[in-house]
Copies of this chain bind each other. A is one copy, B any other.
Amino acid sequence: MQTDIPKPTIARLCLLYRYLDELIRNDVQTISSSQIGRRLSMNSHNVRKDIGYLGDVGNLGAGYDVIKLKKAIAAKLGFNQQRNACVVGIGRLGSAILNFEQFQVHGYKIVAGFDANINKIETMRTSVALFPSHMIVEIVRRFDIQLGVIAVPEKAAQKVTDQLVEGGIKGIVNLTPVVIKPKQSDVFVRNLSILGDFHYLSALITLNQNK
């Protein structure tokens, strides 16, 4: 029907969405493509092209209405829809994530936590229901969990991935440094390992020095 939105555009629109959020909190009502570009380190042409994928949102000659633009992004990218999420691996990192309130505010409801250590599940106090890892498939299916965060030890990462996928998960945030591969190709994965990003930054620093 309509043309596909390029992946890089999606990423930039997500960034823009967060920036608009900030602007709204600061009572800014209107913004121009060049202001956005300066702030988000991209050029204004690109900003306008990206926004162009949303349909007609701008006021020709008078910038964008911040609230209207944010709503347009949300509508197009499905941010209004509430989605259930879970966290697998309730160590330091996992439990830190379980306790972020930010998710709720933005329409993500963390409905379950999983850990292989049954002791931990019984003794920990959280507002989120905890389950042993062998129940992943069942719980993901039962609660219609669409998003999963993996915060387990490296060795377990692939196994957990397989279980989440079997349960019908739609997207995974992988916090381990190992590369996971979902068996079904319509499951989207994001790798967010800080180690990985240290590497990426190191590479940029190195290559920047060499030229």
Contacts and interface: CB of A to CB of B under 8 A. Distances in A.
B178 A205 contact: no
A10 B195 CA distance: 15
A202 to B, nearest CB: 5
Q: Count chain B CB atoms within 10 A of each CB in A19, A149, A203 and give the residue with the most.
A: A203
Interface string A168-207: 0011110001110100011010111111111111111111
A185 to B, nearest CB: 8
Copies of this chain present in the complex amount to 2
A106 B147 contact: no
Interface in A1-44: 1, 4-5, 10-11, 13-15, 17-19, 22, 39-41
B146 A173 contact: no
B95 A191 contact: no
Interface stretch (A56-64, A74-82, A120-128, A132-140): A74-82
Ranked nearest first, the 7 interchain pairs of A and B with the lowest CB-CB distance are A78-B206, A171-B201, A92-B96, A77-B203, A190-B197, A93-B96, A14-B199
